[in-house]
Amino acid sequence: MLNVPVTMLLQLIRGVSGSMDKDGICHCVVYLPNNAIYLQQLEQLQNTAQELMGKYEQELSRVSEYAHAIEDQENQVLEMNSTLNSRNPTFLASSYEFPAFNLLRLELEGAQELVAQLKTNRRVSGVSDLLHELQSQVANASLTLKLLAESDQRSFRALRQEVDVLESRLHECEREKEQEETSIHPDPPLSPGSCAHGGLQKVSRPLVVQLNWRGFSYKSGAWGRDSAPSPASSLFWVAPLREDGRYFDYYRLHKSYDDLVLLKNYEQWKMGYGDGSGNTVYKNFMYFNYYGTSEMAKVDLSSNSLVLRRPLPGATYNNRFSYAGVPWKDLDFAGDEKGLWVLYATEESKGNLVVSLLNASTLEVEKTWHTSQYKPALSGAFMACGVLYALRSLSTRQEEIFYNRSHILCFEDSVS
């Protein structure tokens, strides 16, 4: 577009009335004077204006490119801030001396000078406002770039110092942890089944694995791993009780823990005569309390066949002395590194917990220990390396293991 003062147009041209054709397009004829001087001035003015507008558009395009370059450099700064790949003290300072920053600064300064020169040309007064705005934007960009380089350089130095301090603390903590582990475990890790560790050292928080396959209404039961697995396989089993929380009739066998969690690759068997959740599996045989009696039962898991029933002398049954909050667990079987055990109570012991070591083949009692712990006051018990560990509830959501060796609130009866 050509911007020409109105007075000059009035002097140079004159108009005649126009006409409109059938398509609604207006037509008019402009007659220019024959004065060659006016025509030359008009042509010169038009060429100058077109040249200046071309330079203006070119500089505007360059400034747009500079803005994108500034944005790219800011992204690089953020990336440097997040990674801090180098610990070299001069690295951060030199990052802002990268040639791209210096080149960008020089180009912005040059653009600012060009815009100033264009603005001083009075023949482009029609675009002076736009050029003034452009000059301000370029100046602000230059100032922002300078402040960014100065302030972020200081911020990077401070951040690097903080990271160095934190890394030093982390390395110190790692050294202390290694020293602590070395003092606790000076020897190589023990092989599975070894009892040379000196007793139970740690118990994790309870983990929810899954609901049993029979559904939400089947809230009670037992599950675990073969207490004496063969080196070639690891057998996991699940034995939910019926909805009454007593009767045990179905169980599943899985070849691995992953299969148990994913409910796949299982064998499901029906038994139909178990009582309570005191089951355990030891050397591919399941042991449990036979329903409604004080008898111990043994089932061969390879064929799901009942191979042995034997009464446990003096043992109470039918929920006489079960654990607190765990009904029908009169006979509680356990297997560990020392053998097969059964935990129960008798009328003679007045409900106190009794521990017997069994012959896994014949279910005969080989040795018995009487404790001073009232079984209905306990929430459970288990065996590990021939040591009895008893549990009690602290609340509806928390239990503790207690034994009396070096802990005030604990109790331990060694039966090894």
Distance CA(282)–CA(333), nearest Å, equals 10
List for the chain the helix, strand, coil content (%; round to 5): 35, 25, 35
Consecutive H or E run containing 130 = helix 128-184
Contacts of 194 (CB under 8 A, 6+ apart): 337
For the whole model, what pTM was predicted? 0.54
Q: What distance in Å separates the CA atoms of residue 308 and residue 116, rounded to the nearest whole number?
A: 106
What's the distance, Cα to Cα, between the start and end of the chain in Å? 105
Tokens of 18: 């126009």
DSSP state of 376: G
Q: What is the pLDDT of residue 281?
A: 96
- The whole-number pLDDT of residue 105 equals 65
- Half-sphere exposure (Cβ direction) of 335: Cα atoms closer than 13 Å: 20
pLDDT at res. 89: 47
Residues 41/13, Cβ–Cβ less than 8 Å: no
* Cβ atoms of 385 and 376 closer than 8 Å: no
Burial of 376 (0-12, 13-18, 19+ CB in 10 A): middle
Question: Taking Cα atoms as reference points, which of 330, 338, 333 lies closest to residue 314?
Answer: 330
Residue 245 near residue 297, CB atoms below 8 Å: no
> What whole-number distance in Å separates Cα of residue 281 and Cα of residue 284?
6
- 401's CB contacts (< 8 A; 6+ apart) are 200, 203, 389, 390, 391, 410
**Residue 127's pLDDT is what?**
52
Sheet with 236-240: strands ordered across: 221-225, 236-240, 247-254, 266-275
The residues near 184 (Cβ < 8 Å, ≥ 6 apart) are none
pLDDT, position 402: 74
Res 394: pLDDT: 85
Torsion, CA 180, CA 185, CA 186, CA 190, rounded to 10: -160
pLDDT in tens, the chain (416 residues): 444 454 454 444 444 556 777 776 776 665 555 555 556 766 777 777 777 777 777 777 777 776 676 667 666 666 665 655 554 444 444 444 455 556 556 666 666 666 666 656 545 444 555 566 566 656 666 666 666 666 656 666 776 777 777 777 777 777 777 776 666 655 667 676 778 777 777 777 777 777 888 888 898 999 999 988 666 668 999 999 999 999 999 999 999 988 988 889 999 999 888 999 999 999 999 999 999 999 999 999 999 999 999 999 999 999 999 999 999 999 999 999 899 999 999 999 999 999 999 999 999 999 999 999 999 999 999 998 888 999 998 887 788 887 533 232 333 444 43
Report which DSSP code applies to 331. S
Q: What is the pLDDT of residue 385?
A: 86
Torsion of CA 51, 57, 60, 64, to 10 degrees: -140
pLDDT at 113: 66
Cα dist from 64 to 28, 38, 111, 346, 360, whole Å:
41, 39, 11, 92, 86
